Amino acid sequence: MSNSTKYIFVTGGVASSLGKGIIAASLAKLLQARGYSTTIQKLDPYINIDPGTLNPYEHGECYVTDDGAETDLDLGHYERFLNVSTSQANNVTTGRIYQSVINKERQGAYLGKTVQVIPHITNEIKDNIQSLSKDGEYDIVITEIGGTVGDIESLPYVEALRQMRWEFADDCIVIHLTLVPYLQAAGELKTKPTQHAVKQLLELGVQPDILCCRTEHKLDLELRKKIAQFCNVVPEAVIEAMDAPTIYDVPLMMQEEELDEIVLKRLGLSRKSQPDLTSWNSFLHNLKNPTSEITIGLVGKYVELKDSYKSINEAFIHGGTANLCKVNIEWIHSEKITKANAKEILGDLDGILVAPGFGSRGITGKINAVQYARENNVPFLGICLGMQCAVIEFARNVMGWEDAHTAEISPEAKRPVISLMEEQKTVSDMGGTMRLGQYKCELKPNSNIYEAYNTEVIKERHRHRFEFNSAYLDDFKKSGMKATGFNPDTGLVEVVEVEDHPWFVGVQFHPEYKSTVDNPHPLFTSFVKAIMNNKNK
């Protein structure tokens, strides 16, 4: 076995949304389970520096890493599958590439040369791919190229990959994900779109090594041979990727198809060890054999696009599975909830989660949902803006401070119970300027949060500008809302809880980003458990 890092590229053809991220994460899981240290990187062809400034309707959830990078939601899949933290280096956008090249140009780094897409942009891309495995930290780097091959904007990435394949020869392979549609009228699976997708890649100088074919029906041997023949690959390199019951089934389906076998063979890596998927299999077994069931209302303003709350959804799958409990999520539009209809909309739920968010749209409905949960003893979890709404609701309806609000929406509020963080007061740029990434938090004993984590100091990820206004801490405490988690360095309130309630927790941080298959997040596990207990009462 050679000592050099191996590179696997995952590209997509025919259509978008074929699930490159899940295929990449599944392959990484299989390779990791064979003992290869593996990481995954996503290259996004848009001009934004990061998705932090994108509306979730555009791009789904913005995922945040330990180091405070605002990234593509596929990084969430990578972490959930691999149980390894990612960082800024795992997500590169065209904006970031160009920014770096332009900065270098201004510094005079190109010594009078004309700065061009080839070689300067492509070199920057290649550097970003290779720097991920500095000092040979990883045996294998999987790089997923966003978008569809043939799009103008992804051309420099495909060119960079073409060059790397040439430079790295046998240490670099390409997996192309395509679609094999079924035509009902003809009663047939059609291979032509795949042939054309490969042709398009060939026009750019790239021969794929493996084809992953998304399909709703099984690919028989004849069909695989046909695809192989037209696309210059061996039939074993035509991998069937059927629609899966859950994303967590995909690694096993890929193992069944021997995707990992052919990858290792092509890279000249040993196939002696078999993947150890013991813990993965036991998770899947528990996921599919629940002994109880609960329904949680997820109250948010982007619920039409469920990808906006991807990590929360997955964290409930992990936390539910840890309790052998099937968690149904009812997606509830915050704009629809009024005080008058709250019972009608929320009355049948076993638990309520108020989601993170920004801006005024839907905030009144969120506050109404909190009130309903608090007054009706429904277990409640508020995340970030959800926690801030819980504070506003408590101030208004328990403490009688009708004018309490967050400074985000009402900068002139007489009682800004949620206020702008000091360090934010001089910030004017929108991109990458929030309080981002992982910070410590100290938990107070005898609290739901302490019970959940069972430890005094935790680290969680953040993405916000506003905070609990500590000037009012004593007033809240006297009225029955206590702060049970603080940042040890700044004193910032990270957790609030309502006493005399079955389970009411609001957290300023985002626990959902750190839940993985191997490590279901303790807060989600505890929330589900509290709901089950409350239901059984």
- d(Cα 128, Cα 225) in Å, to the nearest integer? 37
- Looking at the Cβ atoms of 294 and 385, the one nearer to ligand GLN is 385
Catalytic annotation, pick one of 62, 231, 325, 384:
384
Q: In angstroms, how far is CA 484 from the centroid of its own chain? A: 27
- Looking at the Cβ atoms of 180 and 507, the one nearer to ligand GLN is 507
- d(Cα 55, Cα 353) in Å, to the nearest integer? 21
- Residue in the block written with tokens 């009225």: 479
Annotated active-site residue 512? The verdict is yes
Q: Which stretch binds ligand GLN (CB under 6 A): 257-265, 356-364, 371-379, 483-491?
A: 356-364
- Looking at the Cβ atoms of 245 and 431, the one nearer to ligand GLN is 431
Please select the residue that binds ligand GLN; options are 358, 394, 401, 527, rule is CB under 6 A. 358
Annotated active-site residue 212? The verdict is no
Residues 384-403 that bind ligand GLN (CB under 6 A): 384-385
- Looking at the Cβ atoms of 6 and 463, the one nearer to ligand GLN is 463
Closest alpha carbon to 253 in 264, 242, 267: 242
Annotated active-site residue 510? The verdict is yes
Total residues contacting ligand GLN (rule CB under 6 A)? Answer: 10
- Looking at the Cβ atoms of 237 and 385, the one nearer to ligand GLN is 385
Element (H, E) at 195: helix 192-203
The yes or no reply on residue 509 touching ligand GLN (CB under 6 A) is: no
Query: What mask of x and - would describe binding to ligand GLN in positions 403 to 422, judged by CB under 6 A?
Result: -----x--------------
The yes or no reply on residue 466 touching ligand GLN (CB under 6 A) is: yes
Quote the longest CA-to-CA distance of the chain. Answer: 75
Q: Do 31 and 256 touch, CB atoms closer than 8 A? A: no
Please select the residue that binds ligand GLN; options are 77, 464, 521, 529, rule is CB under 6 A. 464
Q: Which residues lie closer than 8 Å to 188 by C-beta, 6 or more apart?
A: 182
- Looking at the Cβ atoms of 70 and 314, the one nearer to ligand GLN is 70
Q: How many Cβ atoms sit within 10 Å of the Cβ of residue 482?
A: 18
Please select the residue that binds ligand GLN; options are 156, 356, 365, 437, rule is CB under 6 A. 356
Rounded to the nearest whole angstrom, what is the least distance from the CB of residue 316 to ligand GLN in the complex?
Answer: 18
Rounded to the nearest whole angstrom, what is the least distance from the CB of residue 66 to ligand GLN in the complex?
Answer: 16
Rounded to the nearest whole angstrom, what is the least distance from the CB of residue 408 to ligand GLN in the complex?
Answer: 5
Q: Do 378 and 349 touch, CB atoms closer than 8 A? A: yes
HSE-up of 529 (CA within 13 Å, CB side)?
15
Radius of gyration, CA atoms only, the chain: 25
Reduced to 3 states (helix: H, G, I; strand: E, B; else coil), residue 521 is: coil
- Looking at the Cβ atoms of 181 and 506, the one nearer to ligand GLN is 506
Q: What is the DSSP string of 339-405?
A: TTTHHHHHTT-SEEEEPP--SSTTHHHHHHHHHHHHHTT--EEEETHHHHHHHHHHHHHTS--TTEE
Catalytic annotation, pick one of 61, 314, 467, 512:
512
Query: What mask of x and - would describe binding to ligand GLN in positions 366 to 385, judged by CB under 6 A?
Result: ------------------xx
In b/e form, how buried is each residue of 286-300, taking b as 16+ CB within 10 angstroms?
bbeeeeeebebbbbb
Rounded to the nearest whole angstrom, what is the least distance from the CB of residue 418 to ligand GLN in the complex?
Answer: 7
Q: Which residues are designated catalytic?
A: 384, 510, 512
Residues in contact with ligand GLN by CB under 6 A are 356-358, 384-385, 408, 463-466
